[in-house]
Chain A
Amino acid sequence: MIDIALHPGNGLDVGSLIQEGRVHSAIYTDPAIFELELRRIFYKTWVYIGHESEVPKRGDYQVRLIGRQQVIMVRGTDEKVRVLMNRCRHRGAVVCEREAGNVKFFRCVYHGWMYDTTGKLIGVTGREAYGPDFKPETMGLTPAPRQDNYRGFVFASLSPEGESLRDFLGKAAEMIDFLVDASPVGQIAVDAGVSKTIYTGNWKLVGMDGYHPNYVHASVVDAWKRDADSGMGATHREDPFDDKAESRTRDLGNGHAMLDMRKQRMKHYPVYEGFVRGIPGGEEYVKTMLEKHGEERGKLLIALAGDPHVGVFPNMQIINNQIRIMNPLAPDRTEVNMYAVRLMGVTDDFNAVRLRQHESFYGPAGAGSPDDAEIFERAQMGMLADVNPWVEISRGMNREVKDEDGTIVGLITDEVTQRGQARKWRELMTQAN
């Protein structure tokens, strides 16, 4: 058993918690490590905030989290989308008391200070009480030190320095494209509601795992067998979670990882195209996509149906028809918010089918994600028994394949994705503040 020297302040080498094919369960359970993760991961790297379609009009805002820190994603009067810290520059109150809305300006009700939607301080009550040293132009809502946008996906970093967003995304960027380009006009609207869930477990338990579906989601597989057209059944006709399948796990680098279903779906392309054709507006969709993207790319986009199944480290995943944000609240408490997506350029009925699929599997009453949450809770409970603290993530270590572009590839049940995330974790956690 590791003793109390585990506390990073006591000179613990946090990197030693990640070993070849195994990780120490303290990374999931220890409160001091959790605090270090906030500083060295969430307050350092690029963190996904939201999609610009969530703030379509001037004055629209959404309040999100970077670790514990509330930020406001707001479209200003100049049409620009900014990420501003939700904290009045006076005495620190949040200026946005609601989660989302539309305002002409932010008014702090503590003492009446006002900011416009670009963050500029435009009103100080009793201005005469301040001397010449008070410079209102320096007292606007603090912007997140770095902000950037990839195809409408707004990211922010609380660290003023570091690699660009594009470099950080690396090979994950083209995976994000698979969702955006599932729209015939290359636009998505993240305005279809959000499934808000919470579980008693660590944030890192939400990974990319192709090994669990046949066990955790056995009840769904069972229901599919009963009726192959039920819910998600139509999109998983042959078992893609069998090592014999063409599906793969991919470590894209920088902690990003995916379940790569591309080859598996292309192998059964007629089935996937048939399913899309059966949706209202589907025939038109198939025709438009093939015309716009050509046969090869068009078919891939149709077959994947906007689901790259990718995790963008540390807090976001694109799965099925959703953009998912994981918020770490405590070592053993995590929020998972699943934002449903509508594709622009298709009929309402076409999108409605996708929304029904989301409801079928995801959300607190879904057939799938509550069982994931249940398993995470059982893992969190189990890991407290740390006489032997090692968590095995060695599956498939001896059969990894490296692509030319550096991507590490494994069979669908291999723990390539877990190892990729662990590697990035160690890299960030062993950098001094």
Chain B
Amino acid sequence: MTIADYAVLREAEEFLYREAELADDHRFDEWLALWTKEALYWVPCNEEDVDPKKKISVIYEDWKKIDERVYRLKGRHAHAQAPRSRLARVISNVRLADYEQASGGTVTSRFVLGEVRRDTQSVWLAKQRHVLVRVDGELRMKEKWVYFINNDSPMTNLTFLV
């Protein structure tokens, strides 16, 4: 890997770290602003890959639904996040696939997400895949896919940003 390649990788990593920071701190509007209007947010359930025409997912949303999600979570009535979870996630194993500095591309990574709510600490682990695009010089996300390793097991409350 050349220094130039490494710089490209670091920029993608920084995007993921920033996304994680906003999500951890419940900075909903800023997190929403990372998305492009042509958005796909996909968290499958039961399996790693499902046909959304034929099966449900935990989350399968376009920008309008992501916006609604953020609107609901910001409000006073989202009881499952009252109080809000304390969150800290660690992003790692970041790799680029089909990626150009000028236009963006696919970034895969993994995360470990620690969550504390009402004195219970949960650890969530996932593989994720982003499609990043460059808009007005800045990276934004067009697609985000998150595969939780426990997506075929009973889940408690996943209403915070993942």
Contacts and interface: CB of A to CB of B under 8 A. Distances in A.
Given A219-B75, A359-B59, A198 B54 contact: no
A219 B72 contact: yes
A367 B156 contact: no
A399 interface: no
A360 B62 CA distance: 12
A222 B157 CA distance: 21
A144 interface: no
Contacts of B68: 223, 226-227, 230-231, 367
Contacts, number: 114
Contacts of A365: 43, 58-59, 158-159, 162
A371 B65 CA distance: 18
A335 B154 contact: yes
A308 B45 CA distance: 26
A50 interface: no
Interface of B is mostly: loop
A195 B153 CA distance: 9
Given A364-B158, A370-B159, A348 B54 contact: yes
Interface in B12-26: none
Interface in A195-232: 195-199, 216, 218-220, 222-223, 226-227, 230-231
A219 B155 contact: no
Contacts of B162: 365
Contacts of A351: 53-54
Contacts of B54: 191-192, 342, 348, 351-352, 355
Interface string A221-252: 01100110011000000000000000000000
Contacts of B153: 196
A220 B140 CA distance: 28
Nearest to B82: A374
Interface in B30-61: 43, 45-46, 50, 52-61
Contacts of A358: 56
A196 B154 contact: yes
Contacts of A363: 45, 56, 58
B45 A360 contact: no
Given A195-B45, A363-B45, A370 B80 contact: yes
A373 interface: yes
A311 B46 CA distance: 25
A139 B35 CA distance: 60
A367 B158 contact: no
Contacts of B82: 374
A193 interface: yes
A359 B57 contact: yes
A373 B158 CA distance: 12
A374 B52 contact: no
Contacts of B61: 359
Contact of A348 (B53, B57, B59, B156): B53
7 contacts: A197-B155, A219-B78, A230-B65, A337-B154, A363-B45, A365-B59, A370-B159
Interface of B: 43, 45-46, 50, 52-61, 64-65, 68-69, 71-72, 75, 77-80, 82, 152-159, 162
Given A193-B46, A355-B52, 19 more contacts: A191-B54, A192-B55, A195-B45, A220-B72, A222-B77, A340-B55, A348-B53, A348-B54, A351-B53, A359-B57, A359-B59, A360-B65, A364-B58, A364-B158, A365-B159, A367-B68, A373-B80, A373-B157, A375-B79
Interface of A: 99, 191-199, 216, 218-220, 222-223, 226-227, 230-231, 335, 337, 340, 342, 348-349, 351-352, 355-356, 358-360, 363-365, 367, 370-371, 373-375
Among all A-B residue pairs, the 5 with the closest Cβ atoms: A198-B154, A219-B77, A364-B155, A370-B80, A218-B77
